[in-house]
Structure 1
Amino acid sequence: MSGGFPEAFTLSFADTINGWVDWLVVHYGDQLRSVSDRLLALLVGLENLLRLLPWWLLLLLVGLLAWHASRSLLRSIGLVALLGFIGTLGLWDKLLQTLALVLVSTGLCVLVGVPLGILLATRPLARRLVLPVLDVMQTLPAFVYLIPVLMLFGLGKVPAVFATLIYALPPLVRLTELGLGQIDPSLLKAAHGLGANRWQRLRRVALPLALPSIMAGLNQSVMMALSMVVVASMIGARGLGEDVLAGIQTLNVGQGVEAGLAIVALAMVIDRISQAYGRTRH
């Protein structure tokens, strides 16, 4: 007697999903190609802009940004040293490629995540509908949603951006909604009593009070975007993840460790700066 699951009760929706993706490609292929071309132009333009900056000027700018965020000279010097460490490993150009990918992905996260978080905080129905979707986005293995993204956009930097966006978006949405939901309602009522309309209450009262939570969400999104750089390198995005992948494929432990440490150093720099901005606006 077989202990397997009865075949009569099995079902598969793989063909349905494949048909839906094919329908998107057939009917909206031109629009998707246009979006892909614009996003690629943005990515390449940002990479070229970063390459135009002398290495010492970029380090100086990061140091000034770190000092502005933390007002700590010692911390600023430490973060600049971490970034300079990546250059000493001979990975400066790959650092710029990874940085451009993370900046574009994080920018898209902010453009989508903050308005969506505001919507969830103000519309209970939207919250009930979207939260399960965010749960799926956070728990679904990255390789699963890489497949439709690759079919829609092909190999290269653009699908890496969209895959990173899907992976890194949920924390920002959740923490934006959480920050807005924890605001004392009496403050908003007082602003309403003073004649502020809904937009003014949001812009002048709610968002400033929720900013520490939003910055925490942004910090988490950036960290998750950095954790995707190795996966992104598997679909054609270059950068530090490419060296980690090459180290795995060729069993070159040294190369993989160097690139991994460079990713850690970049993550620490971005993490400390974003956390400092969140604290200074408390």
Structure 2
Amino acid sequence: MLLIVAALAWLIGTWRTALTAVLAMAAIGVLGVWNPSLDTLSQVLAAVAVTLVIGFATGVAAARSDRFERLLRPVLDVFQTMPQFVYLIPVVALFGVGRAPAVAAAVVYALPAVVRITAQGLRQVDPAALESARSLGATGAQQLRQVQLPLARPALLLAVNQGVVLVLAVVIIGGLVGEGALGYDVVFGLAQGDLATGLVAGAAIVCLGLMLDRVTQPTERRTAKGA
């Protein structure tokens, strides 16, 4: 697991990025909460995958249609201003208590940011590049696939990073609806006054967040090289 984290962090960053990510994962093992941490990580990755699929598709549609973007804007504003606890009410009503409502709440919480960043990144692509593609006979799909998405890569990577961070922020909230793993340990520690359990679980969540941030956020050197 440490080798996988190191490889991913090295591919997208530098050796310092890889070292930070590996130390964060190693700290989880030292804390003795490896199994619940991987359980939490699996749920976070599942929520992030769903968030990115829906968020990228919606962001692309919003970037290509002004009317759709105007209709979507108030919906995103409402989702971004609602407290995290409010998301639990409808998802628990739909899915009951368990991991599914926790993942669904995380997706709804992180989705607005991913949609906005994706749409903004695509809209800020150099118009001259798009005009050149059109003059060469590129279709709308070809412009999106071969011009807009490559040029908007930094914004898309930022959307991935923000999606990961926001999904992880709902882990503790998910512990209230049967998510288990680290979220449950934090809630249990708060409810029972068990400082050791809650503090260790909280530290493990911080380490997970640090590792995921390093793996999904490219450094300036690598970004410039890729550009």
TM-score (ref. length: structure 1): 0.76
The answer to whether structure 1 residue 115 and structure 2 residue 57 are counterparts is yes
- Would you say the 8 A contact 1:229–1:239 is kept in 2? no
| In structure 2, distance between residues paired with 1:271 and 1:84 | 16
Cα separation, 1, equivalents of 2:136 and 2:83: 49
CA RMSD of aligned residues (A): 1.4
Task: Say which SS state the counterpart of residue 266 (structure 1) adopts.
Answer: helix
Specify the code of the residue in structure 1 equivalent to 2:113: P
Please identify the structure whose Cα radius of gyration is greater: 1
Quote how far apart the aligned CAs of 1:277 are: 6.8
Give the secondary structure class of the aligned counterpart of 1:276: coil
**Aligned counterpart in structure 2 of residue 243 of structure 1, from 161, 175, 185:** 185
Q: Which residue of 2 aligns with 1:147?
A: 89
Whole-Å separation in 2 of the counterparts to 1:207 and 1:106: 19
Superposed CA offset, 1:202-229 (max 9, x none): 0010001111011111111110111100
Does residue 1:214 correspond to 2:156, yes or no?
A: yes
Given that 1:171 and 1:218 are in contact with CA atoms closer than 8 Å, whether structure 2 keeps it comes out as: no
Task: Identify the match of residue 201 of structure 1 among 137, 140, 143.
Answer: 143
Deviation at 1:81, TM superposition (A): 1.6
| Residues 63 and 76 in structure 1, CA contact (< 8 A), matched pair in contact too | yes
State the distance in 1 between where 2:62 and 2:219 align. Answer: 25
Structure 2 counterpart of 1:276, one-letter code? P
Q: What displacement does 1:75 show?
A: 3.3
Of 151, 173, 177, which aligns to 2:115? 173
Q: Which residue of 2 aligns with 1:59?
A: 2
Residue 11 of structure 2 is matched in structure 1 by 68
Maintained 8 Å contact 1:230/1:241: yes
Any idea what the Cα deviations from partners look like across 1:175-206, whole Å, max 9, x if unmatched?
10110111121211111111211111100100
* Match in the other structure for 1:129: 71
User: Which amino acid in the other structure matches residue 158 of structure 1?
Assistant: A
Per-residue CA distance 1:120-179 (angstroms, 9 max, x = gap): 111111111111111111111122231121111111011111100000111110010110
Counterpart residue identity of residue 83, structure 1:
M
Separation of aligned partners in 2, 1:75 and 1:183: 28
- Segments of 5+ residues of structure 2 without an aligned counterpart are none
Specify the alignment match of 1:161 in structure 2: 103
| 3-state SS, counterpart of residue 210 of structure 2 | helix
Is the aligned partner of 1:80 residue 2:22?
A: yes
- Percent of residue pairs bearing the same amino acid type: 42
TM-score computed with the length of structure 2 as normaliser: 0.94
- On the 8 A contact 2:52/2:163 being kept in 1, the answer is no
Could you tell me which residue of structure 2 aligns to residue 185 of structure 1?
A: 127
Distance 1:130 1:245 in 2: 35
CA distance in 1, matches of 2:164, 2:219: 14
Matched-pair contact (CA < 8 Å) for 2:106–2:170 = yes
Number of positions where the alignment pairs a residue of Structure 1 with one of Structure 2: 224
Rounded to whole Å, the distance in 1 between the matches of 2:133 and 2:60 is: 18
AA matched with 2:98: G
2: distance between equivalents of 1:64 and 1:145?
35
Query: Contact (CA 8 Å) 1:110, 1:218: kept in 2 or not?
Result: yes
Give the counterpart letter for 1:70 in structure 2: G
CA contact (8 A) 2:99 2:179 kept: yes
Structure 1 consecutive aligned stretches of length 4 or more whose deviation exceeds 2 Å: 277-282
Match of 1:30 in 2: none
Residue in structure 2 matching 1:225, options 150, 167, 170: 167
